[in-house]
Amino acid sequence: MGIQQNANYVVVAGDGTVYVAPTASAVAPTNAATALNAVWLEMGYVSEDGATFTQGQEITDINAWQSFYPIRRVLTARTVSISFALREWNKRAVEFATGGTVAINAAEWKLTPPTPSATIDRALILEWVDGSKKYRLFCPKGVISEDVETNLSRTAAADLPVTFAASDPGAGGSIYQLFTTDPAFSS
């Protein structure tokens, strides 16, 4: 028999949350529902577009004189990224998006960008719910990998778009883990 069609297996991420923690202190979740350790900081509102999870791979074609088609394909890299637009401008969100540091400067706040060669590793959790089904995607290590380009306009929110590129966590760890309470995974 083929795959059964079941509308209950369609996922609609009606609500979600992004959490960030320093990699050295990040306490890894073990399931989709247990409360997170206090080191995880919620990043606040994300734009209505939600988040995009991308798992990619790079393939190198090996060609030969005798064939118009590749005679072999070699997997040369795998990538994992999560993209979203932070809607709030607060200390947590701005420091995460820019890699800078926000500090008091007399009666106002000042953002100082990171040093030019700084790469700031973070751990990230993306959670979403679909009715009673919960999902928790955990990346133990990664960096902001794309430009944070903010449009300042009279008629739209000034979002902080972020692309978080997962990195090899080392010590045989997994680049990401997905936990869910979705009963469709038992089928």
Return all residues near 75 (Cβ < 8 A) that are at least 6 apart.
57, 58, 59
- The answer to whether the beta carbons of residues 73 and 62 sit under 8 Å apart is yes
Q: Per-residue pLDDT for the chain (187 aa), expressed as one digit of tens each? A: 566 788 989 999 999 999 999 997 778 999 999 999 999 999 999 999 999 999 999 999 999 999 999 999 999 999 999 999 999 999 999 999 999 999 988 889 999 999 999 889 999 999 999 999 999 999 999 999 999 999 999 999 999 999 999 999 988 889 999 999 999 998 6
Query: DSSP letter at 33?
Result: S
Please report the pLDDT score of residue 155 as a whole number: 96
pLDDT at 76: 96
